[in-house]
Amino acid sequence: MSDSAIISVRNLTVRFGTHTIFENVSFDVPRGKIFVILGGSGCGKSTMLRTLTGLVKPATGSIHYGSENLLTAYGNERLRLLKKFGILFQSGGLFASMTLAENVALPLKTSTSMPLERLSDVIAMKLGSVGLSGFEGHLPSEISGGMKKRAGLARAMALDPAILFFDEPSAGLDPVSSASLDKLIRELNSALGTTMIVVTHELDSIALIADYVMMLDKGERGIIAEGTLHDVKRSTDRRVRDFFDRVAG
């Protein structure tokens, strides 16, 4: 594994029953960059995120975060690894009956012993960093879809994760909110240096945020292209070409 990799995946095989989703997949995720996973519907993008965050158990392979293998770590070692991850789920994943401040407070209360007086400062800072200053007391139902995603992001960042995972962050958003979320993702990456792994199939988003791209394919049960967007766009693989020509063509 190179020094610049934060995650190193080797020979990963994932099955659901007799259905093989990934067969012998290997790749590195570079540290501090935005790594985009793309591919058609059902190729396993969400499954890959769930596998990298310990929610799906592979049949074989290794997933190293530094010297620690997520797949063999247990007890406190596994917990320490899981605390490195922040996850923004597709829906935003907010609790409807809680204010934005309470939603962001949740991981802080369960995973830290932060004193109450400091808690509100941290919550204000996290909501401020996603452009939601002043919305501490709002319920999710009182804000727009784009704001819900931002609030979900503030919660995902509550514990200062080393790696943020996003599953189709712009799904369900109008083009303006979607572009502004992409811009925020880019800004947070530059400001904090947090490694970000983003599943998307929006070509506009990919162009705006991707430092590296990895394209998965269902039939291949793995990777059909990877590299910078520039590299991947020059692929002569018909499946890759079809993906990028979709909108233009």
Ligand X SMILES: Nc1ncnc2c1ncn2[C@@H]1O[C@H](COP(=O)(O)OP(=O)(O)O)[C@@H](O)[C@H]1O
Which positions lie near ligand X, rule CB under 6 A?
Answer: 16, 21, 39, 41-47
46 near Mg ion, judged by CB under 5 A: yes
112 near Mg ion, judged by CB under 5 A: no
Q: Which does 101 bind (CB under 5 to 8 A by kind): Mg ion, ligand X, none?
A: none
What backbone phi and psi angles, to 5 degrees, belong to 78?
Answer: -65, -45
CA distance linking residue 167 with residue 176, whole number of Å: 19
Least separation, in Å, of the C-beta of 143 and Mg ion? 24
Least separation, in Å, of the C-beta of 131 and ligand X? 28
6-45 binders of Mg ion (CB under 5 A): 45
Q: Which does 44 bind (CB under 5 to 8 A by kind): Mg ion, ligand X, none?
A: ligand X
- 109-121 burial, b if ≥16 CB within 10 A, otherwise e? eeeeeeeeeebee
The order of strands in the sheet holding 163-167 is 85-88, 163-167, 195-199, 34-38, 212-217, 222-227
Instruction: Name the residue nearer to Mg ion (CB basis): 21 or 158.
Output: 21
Contact assessment for residue 52 and residue 7, using Cβ atoms and an 8 Å cutoff: yes
* DSSP strands (E only) in the chain: 5-16, 19-30, 34-38, 60-65, 68-69, 85-88, 163-167, 195-199, 212-217, 222-227
Instruction: Name the residue nearer to ligand X (CB basis): 171 or 179.
Output: 171
Q: Which does 47 bind (CB under 5 to 8 A by kind): Mg ion, ligand X, none?
A: ligand X
Q: Which does 41 bind (CB under 5 to 8 A by kind): Mg ion, ligand X, none?
A: ligand X
Q: Which does 42 bind (CB under 5 to 8 A by kind): Mg ion, ligand X, none?
A: ligand X
Instruction: Name the residue nearer to Mg ion (CB basis): 39 or 140.
Output: 39
